[in-house]
A and B are shown apart, each in its own frame.
Chain A
Amino acid sequence: MPLAVDMRHIRKYFPTSNVLACDDVSFSVNRGEVHALVGENGAGKTTLMNILYGLIAPDEGQIFINEQPAHISHPNDAIRLGIGMVHQHFKLVPSFTIAQNIMLGIEPNRAGFIDAADEAEKVRQLSEDFGLPVDPNARVADISVGMQQRVEILKTLQRNAQILILDEPTAVLTPQEVRELYIVIRKLAADGRTIILITHKLLEVKEVADRVSVMRRGRMVGTHNVADVSIRQMANLMVGREVILRVDKQPAKPGEVVLSAENLLIAGHGGIPAVFGVSLEVRAGEILGIAGVSGNGQTELVEALTGLRPVEGGKIMLLGKDITHASVRDRRRAGMAHVPEDRMVMGLNLKTNLDENVVVTHYHDEPYSERGFLRANPIRKLARQIIDAFQIKSARVGEEIKTLSGGNLQKVVLGRELYGKPRLIIVNQPTRGLDVGSIEFVHKTLIQERDSGAAVLLVSVELDEILALSDRIAVMFAGRIMGVLDATIATEQDIGILMAGGSLEAETPIPEKVQ
């Protein structure tokens, strides 16, 4: 079979961060196949694809496209060679229509003026040709995330892409949207197009890819037919050791109610209501998981519970104390810990050192400060304790943290938040962007905290994570809790229906998405 992509002996070294991102990597993809590229965070897969797309220049190595040597020094070169890339974070203009986005930069014009009718017509034609229905005149701001992704794919197809690179395409989709995407991917491959799928979800590889290449720490460790390898084998190749995929946990022994929220009404960005009358309860010794596609009010809910966002209505009780309007510090004093969604900006201050990062929740208490003066030794001791307890290997007391990996940064956050035995732990997207090994660690830690009697509220868009950790699962959609399920009997299918705004009782089908 002819090779669509052949990258030989690629090497890329980043001197600023002293990372050898690609070390003699060779990678080839057959024409018309779906080829998954997997690896942990920092394994070099995104760097390799950015080299292929002309975003990064390699130090060494050659690239052949359709068996012809190619010089790709800019994305325009890549596009000319028929390579298209759909980034993890979509690069669409929200205020433009679908047609305007797809034709951006190649607008049909009449005497220098954009011909809007022709533009819409071209996009309609395109979407018909590929069987990917879209409404050319809908504004991107109004369409679902799954639809935005479809627009991104159409955008590459309009530029006649024969080789499509999809970077973590399912990260933002509901299970149903994921199914639809798989169908699209198979269809494009059947048309003779080549798909490269960057992912770290191995289940996805099993379901949609023909072959899989595994990268680890800048090296290519092997390419296999997907049919020949099990998920466990792939995970082991990725991490380089045996990985425990299932989280071991005993049934929960729920105790007293630690957190209860009643009828919360919370305003989101620009004062638009984001949460409508949410009530929930978390007990000691249990994990309540909140599932949902991102942007359905979870962020606002967590911010309101942790004191970062005012509550418009309703009541929040922590261990029998009304904390509805309490300050962040008072809530923390009452036993609340918070592992935030964005660890880079909210969870940590990357501009300072480890000590000052771990002391932020305690700095005003003795022994860390006395009469307004910081005391270096107790702070250093605290940092050392956290490093030891969480085995943060590359972290050092008193040193900058911005060079730590994502997994180690999250360990710093967890270490600080779990220090001093909090009664309630609110975690939001605790494993976003982490590699398999770190995910394993975070999950184990959360289970341990639960077993030692803490109440855990886990918010995550990763359904696997919710299913693996939670004892009860609440599903959020459009600012409401659609249902609370017992984790032992909940199925992915049920949760998926609730996530899309459907109901389990009524026999109504899932509402059609905006087309």
Chain B
Amino acid sequence: MPRRLRQTLDNLAIPLLAVVLGLVVSSVFVLMARTDPVQTYQRMFCEGFGAKGCQTFGDLLVTQTENEDGSTSTVFAPFYGAGGHRLAVVLERATLLILTALSATVAFKAGLFSIGMDGQFVLGAITAAFLGYWLPGQVYVLAGVADPESAPQTLLTVMHLLMPPLCIAAAMAVGAVYSWIAGFLKVRLNVNELISTIILNAIAVQIVNYLVRYPLRSDFNSTARTTRIDDTAWLIPFNRGLFQDVEWFSGSRLGIGIVIAILAAVIIWFFLWRTTAGYEQRMAGGSRLFARFGGIPSEQAALRAMLISGALSGLAGAIAILGIERRVVDGYAAVGIGFDGVMVAILARESIPAIIVVAMFFAGLQQGATNLQFGDLPRQLGSIIIAFIILFSSMETFFRNLINRIQTRLRPQRAPAAEVRPS
């Protein structure tokens, strides 16, 4: 099907062009910092996506390894990560971006421009952080265990199977309810969901700040923080558990969360495209009038979309705590992972397979840009580069027109025999 092939090529060409243009334009600022753009970008991409010792763009693809007998061989770089691979760190961060981007996509597809992911995320996080130490604590008290170290192994095993799902479920419920508020306001009172979710985000961030600084503050550490979650609630990262011996994972807190995130992507895809409920949501999103006209209960569909969207952000918050952070530190609420998820969803144009790719790319860029500061470069430079790449990525129409114009220029003669559509 040549038309579909051409579409796919177009769809790939646009993000690529955007990245290249973003890099070219940012070179102006790189030059202003009196550094060499090519060098800078190489370092940025190596810090973002490379293995240890990555120096050039080439190192991103292939690298030399030393065999036991002293000879060297050439290997595919993404798979080779002696001393830890940057991609593992990218995946750690991408886990959260995938989930929050899915959350945004579920809302967008239902025609709701909810950007409440941030608020739902931080509330989910604080819920998981609290339950993560409080619930096991209650169990220890009930079981009469004074010191978890000396608890019977069976008890610990059972708890380890129960605690994470409980915390995750609670965080998802909190996210869902918080998101439902905006949905309810929209459906009943016609309150613009964009505005209500912005406000709800601000409220959530302040609630979390308050909780971390006062009721849930664990100690007198100079930065307020919650008690670290109990080991039984911890989603143990690969490098501490399952793949302890695989060096690729060392230095990253990547864990079971990435599996959950990808599973969630598959389930959401299936839900949206293969169930009547998903169909209702998408039709209501495509054209509200069409949905009403067809007899789709569109208010119900909108509320359901908001619930699912909120639950996904809550899930992201739970994984961030149970799998990565293990506690909420003051300031974590302002990191803005929910917003990054919205950005990923928009850049992926609400396509679920694209979300996974874009989330990884975005996470890598962020990491590369942040790590630039460990050299002689100002920290802000990385942000500028990312901003330009995002800016150009959002200029889809511009690139599409550009491609069209080039195509017309290439075959200006009597190419198309006017669209004949006998009716």
Contacts and interface: CB of A to CB of B under 8 A. Distances in A.
B225 to A, nearest CB: 44
Interface stretch (A14-22, A76-84, A132-140): A14-22
A515 to B, nearest CB: 37
Contacts, number: 109
A441 B423 contact: yes
Interface string A408-420: 1001000000000
B283 A360 contact: yes
B289 A19 contact: no
Which range contains the number of B residues in contact with the other chain?
Answer: 20 to 34
Interface stretch (A116-124, A313-321, A366-374): A366-374
Contacts of B294: 328, 360-361
Contact of B295 (A13, A361, A437): A361
Contacts of A438: 423
A17 B419 contact: yes
Interface string B295-324: 111000000000000000000000000000
- Looking at chain B's contact residues, is the secondary structure mostly helix, strand, loop, or mixed? helix
Interface in B391-407: 400, 404-405, 407
Interface string B247-281: 00000000000000000000000000111110100
Contacts of A373: 274-276
A374 B274 contact: yes
B284 to A, nearest CB: 9
Nearest to A332: B295
B374 to A, nearest CB: 46
- Most A Cβ at <10 Å: residue of B275, B283, B297, B407: B283
Contacts of A338: 293
- Most chain A CB atoms below 10 A, which of B407, B422, B423: B423
Nearest to B270: A373
Given A16-B404, A19-B419, A218-B418, A328 B279 contact: no
Given A19-B418, A328-B294, A345-B290, A372 B275 contact: yes
B289 to A, nearest CB: 4
A393 interface: yes
B410 to A, nearest CB: 11
A342 to B, nearest CB: 7
A307 B273 CA distance: 28
Contacts of B188: none
A331 B293 CA distance: 11
Contacts of B407: 15
Contacts of A17: 419
A393 B422 contact: yes
A177 interface: no
Contacts of B420: 217
Interface string A193-227: 00000000000000000000000011000000000
Nearest to B282: A352
Nearest to B405: A15
B416 interface: yes
Nearest to A362: B294
A437 B407 CA distance: 33
A275 B419 CA distance: 43
A200 to B, nearest CB: 14
A345 B416 CA distance: 29
Given A345-B287, A351-B287, A328 B422 contact: no
Given A393-B422, A437-B422, A441-B423, A349 B287 contact: yes
Interface string A423-445: 00000000000010110010000
Contacts of B240: none
B292 interface: yes
Given A218-B418, A435-B423, A346 B279 contact: no
Interface string B162-191: 000000000000000000000000000000
B211 to A, nearest CB: 38
Contact of B421 (A308, A363, A408): A408
B184 to A, nearest CB: 21
B331 interface: no
* Interface core residue of B286, B294, B417 (most chain A CB under 10 Å): B294
A46 interface: no
A356 interface: yes
A422 interface: no
A347 interface: yes
A508 interface: no
Contacts of A408: 421, 423
A66 B396 CA distance: 43
A415 B191 CA distance: 37
A453 to B, nearest CB: 24
B416 A19 contact: yes
A345 to B, nearest CB: 5
Contacts of B289: 342, 345-346
A414 to B, nearest CB: 12
Interface of B: 273-277, 279, 282-283, 286-287, 289-297, 400, 404-405, 407-408, 415-423
Given A346-B289, A351-B286, A360-B291, 4 more contacts: A348-B290, A360-B294, A360-B296, A372-B276
Interface of A: 13, 15-21, 23, 42, 217-218, 306-308, 327-329, 331-332, 338, 340, 342, 345-352, 356, 360-361, 363-364, 369, 372-374, 393-394, 404-405, 407-408, 411, 435, 437-438, 441
4 smallest beta-carbon distances between A and B, as pairs: A329-B295, A360-B294, A407-B423, A20-B418
18 contacts: A13-B415, A21-B418, A217-B418, A218-B418, A328-B293, A345-B289, A348-B290, A349-B286, A349-B287, A350-B286, A352-B286, A360-B296, A372-B277, A374-B274, A393-B421, A393-B422, A437-B422, A437-B423
